A and B are shown apart, each in its own frame.
Chain A
Amino acid sequence: MSNKVIHVLYNDDDILMDAVKKTRAAHHHIEEIYTPFPVHGLDKAMGLAPTRLAICAFLYGLVGLSVATSMMWFIMIQDWPQDIGGKPSFSYIQNMPAFVPVMFEMTVFFAAHLMVITFYMRSKLWPFKDAENPDVRTTDDHFLMEVAVHGDVDQMVSFFEGTHAVEVKVIEKH
């Protein structure tokens, strides 16, 4: 298997979208696309699976709600069921309205933070992570499509030159 890839650079998102469709139709394998901003519909055009981060957030929220409820039940009802200003501390449900603000906040806290941490872990983002975009222009105004080489390289290069690319490079990948 060849370890060569082709880097095709575009300078417009509409041209990129057309190129992605043509590339997929021609059965070339798109390894990666680097863009300076979110191009709407690009993930669908590439055939990427939808992300499940929202499902994670929902589950994390349930965890937060359970933590808040069990914490306040233990502290306020179980451990020290004291009379503080006539508030009924005989069962959780009796004093539940006073617990709603904290139950709500902890649900949001868990859902938001654990989802963001999951995102950082799944996308491999952390403070000392080295950037992996192959061309610095991809954070400015260029769009880079990385395609695996198979078969005739020259034929592939001329194919991509025909997709209004501004630059086509064959790269040896290690």
Chain B
Amino acid sequence: MSSHYEAPIRKPLIIGDKNYHDVTVDVARPVEGRANKQWWIAFSIALAAFLWGVGCVAYTVGTGIGTWGSNKTIGWAWDITNFVWWVGIGHAGTLISAVLLLFRQKWRMAINRSAEAMTIFSVIQAAMFPVFHMGRPWLAYWVMPIPNQFGSLWVNFNSPLLWDVFAISTYLSVSLVFWWTGLLPDFAMLRDRAITPFTKRVYSIVSFGWSGRAKDWQRFEEVSLVLAGLATPLVLSVHTIVSFDFATSVIPGWHTTILPPYFVAGAIFSGFAMVNTLLIIMRKVSNLEAYITIQHIELMNIIIMITGSIVGIAYITELFVAWYSGVEYEQYAFLNRATGPYWWSYALMMTCNVISPQVMWFKKIRTSIYVSFVISIVVNIGMWFERFVIIVTSLHRDYLPSSWTMFQPTFVDAGFFIGTIGFFFVLFLLYSRSFPVIAQAEVKSIMKTSSETYKKKWASEGHGHDNHSHSENNHH
């Protein structure tokens, strides 16, 4: 059929002899089955870490911020490092669901649902740091411009920390409705398959009575497209605004105009690494290897390589500008990063972020699942250190040598961070057992163009003349 013509060079995105019903069954299986022992072990570990984090936060709020390792010179350390790290991880989800939608990338279909879930869960983790790093978190509602009995006393719209409030809350809420709207047809699929009255009821409520009418689909697609068009500048603006927390300051090492695009590139870099970490495990555990193929992993690795190179250029640019500026404070800030007491964290950041993604130039490496998994974790360690280096090394030595000091985190700093990792995995593990982890309606819509079954069929019907070998190459 000519309406389904696709260049024979493109590899199939759905492997194996699948039809529409097989997609339904494969996506529904992890939800309809029972959790195995490994799931319960992973869930228990994550829950324990989460509860430990709750304890550390309760201790911080009850006793005071002095339980942390921050001091008079270094007011921001692990709190904001972790905040920026989590926000950054969240960005890949929107990139995959919005930017790749605008670019009509069909390979996004199998991964967008989980990437968006990752966005939402990591932005939730991120949002806790701005609240609990406050000295008086019970007055956090004062950041809202709400009319009040003090005159009215308002907020100051000059502060990037207030812009953060608007950026993060817009980002979280828009990502949530984008994700949920996309979930409606898939929840409806689970609802219509449900056997027990309880699951029927639950999926009826969450699917909002989705019936799949032609008009509903027409509106659905328009809404998805407009939301993608809105989410793309949103995702760029959110990390830009997060970078303004540093870029608008007067601190040498922070005051740079390169920070907004450089933070966004770093966010995509670390976010795609996290997507790779999660999906490499998920495709195996949930038996979704036919949908999340080695080609998906390779394409994500290519994006990691590109954004890693952008981050590398940004590092070199910063160094060049520091030397070129003739500002001794700026020059010292970078000399201190490279050779000061935190040289090891700078070296770790450079190794993980600049060198590790460059191995992806080799096809053997970027198509290896094991190497991809290791690199994806290395990248997230490197990106954590990037934020740590930017924040702590710029603060611990700046204008007045009499204010120079060191930073030593306490167990409460670590506990809060571990708690957010635990909370993230609690949410992600619950999600993977109760949500359709692949957007099955979207995967079905690319079946005719991108599945192995149909590619073979079109090839045998004789579309083009050099397309008889492509399907043989792709049994990985």
Q: What chain B residues lie within 8 Å of A84 (beta carbons)?
A: 156, 158
B20 within 8 Å of A by Cβ?
A: yes
Question: Within B210-236, which residues are at the interface with A (CB < 8 Å)?
Answer: 210-223, 225-227, 230-231, 233-234
> Assuming the A-B contacts A53-B223, A112-B177, are A131 and B209 also in contact, with contact meaning beta carbons closer than 8 angstroms in the complex?
yes
Q: What chain B residues lie within 8 Å of A120 (beta carbons)?
A: 208
Q: Are the C-beta atoms of A75 and B219 separated by less than 8 Å?
A: no
**Which positions in A face B, CB cutoff 8 Å?**
11, 13-14, 32-40, 42-43, 46, 48, 50-51, 53-54, 57, 71-72, 75-76, 79-80, 84-85, 87, 95, 98-99, 101-102, 104-106, 108-109, 111-113, 115-116, 119-120, 122-133, 136-141
Please measure, in the bound complex, the distance between the C-alpha atom of A7 and the C-alpha atom of B186, giving whole angstroms: 23
Q: Are the C-beta atoms of A127 and B205 separated by less than 8 Å?
A: yes
Residue-by-residue, is B176-199 near A (CB-CB < 8 Å gives 1, otherwise 0)?
Answer: 011001001100110111000000
**Which one of A11, A13, A98 contacts B158 once the chains associate, using CB atoms below 8 Å?**
A98
Interface residues of chain B: helix, strand, loop or mixed (majority)? helix
Q: What chain B residues lie within 8 Å of A140 (beta carbons)?
A: 20-21, 24, 189, 192-193
Q: What chain A residues lie within 8 Å of B173 (beta carbons)?
A: 109, 113
Chain A residue nearest in CB terms to B234: A108
Chain A residue nearest in CB terms to B221: A38
Question: 7 tightest A-B contacts by CB?
Answer: A129-B209, A141-B20, A136-B192, A101-B163, A125-B208, A37-B444, A37-B441
Q: Are the C-beta atoms of A141 and B219 separated by less than 8 Å?
A: no
A-B residue pairs in contact (CB < 8 Å), sample of 30: A33-B213, A34-B214, A35-B217, A37-B185, A37-B217, A38-B441, A39-B217, A46-B214, A51-B222, A53-B222, A71-B145, A75-B154, A75-B155, A80-B153, A99-B157, A102-B163, A105-B170, A109-B166, A112-B177, A112-B230, A112-B234, A113-B177, A123-B219, A126-B209, A131-B209, A131-B210, A133-B188, A140-B20, A140-B192, A140-B193
**Which one of A11, A53, A85, A131 contacts B211 once the chains associate, using CB atoms below 8 Å?**
A131
Q: Are the C-beta atoms of A139 and B185 separated by less than 8 Å?
A: yes
**Which one of B21, B174, B237 contacts A101 once the chains associate, using CB atoms below 8 Å?**
B237
Q: Are the C-beta atoms of B167 and A34 separated by less than 8 Å?
A: no
Q: Are the C-beta atoms of A126 and B166 separated by less than 8 Å?
A: no
